Structure 1
Amino acid sequence: MGSVTSIQENCEEQAQDPEAPPLTRALARAQQLYNIAILNFGVADLRSITRLLRCSLSGTYKVDRQTLVVLGGAVIYVAMPCDAIPDFIPVLGYLDDAYILRQAITTCLSEIRRFQQWEEEQQRNK
């Protein structure tokens, strides 16, 4: 694993790359938020959300509609360039994104944990 500075630089590049998939850009922006210590959840939860959404959309993992809407909406909000507080404002620009992500994860934490357990079971069964 690289230094915090190199990880942050990589995330900043991915977040600004218009060619990157939207989920990758959203995850990179969420990582930026995490690196500036606004959020209090782990990067593993952010990555799990991305995988949960992909598995749900592909039909390999069933998730209730409310969870899908909350997590999908949070990812879309983070990926959108237009926010309640523009992102070009240092620190404050990410505050609304951090709040939305934090609320989404808090709301759906039990489903995220169930998904992580499901993934572990899938790995053991291979």
Structure 2
Amino acid sequence: MPYNYEHIDESSIDVSLKCLICSDPYTNPCSTICDHTICRSCITKWLETSDRCPACSKKPMTNEGLYPTNRVVFDILDRLLVQCKACRQINIQRGNFDEHSNGYCLKTFTACLAVDLKCP
């Protein structure tokens, strides 16, 4: 899923916070039955062609066998610093990006809620 931000200094992000499939910092991470963490969208796509863990090739897996990642991982990911691609503001915590995008960014496209009024 494309996001309207980029991570600041992605090379400094610990490898333990990066998905082994896409190599990016986790997005909506989940854990496998063998306790590996992977982006949910990455593992869902992986399981379309394989039933083995992409990290260790052990234990047949299904989407139903995935479970939520520890909350600490989400908290660390939310504190990663990103830059808005629209307005180029830097040092936004990833967990606050939606708030920036929906309330503060002057360059984010917003659909008009009064479109049916046909303003001039």
TM-score, with length taken from structure 1: 0.33
Q: Which structure's residues are more often helix, by fraction?
A: 1
TM-score (ref. length: structure 2): 0.35
Structure label with greater radius of gyration: 2
Structure 1 or 2: more strand by fraction: 2
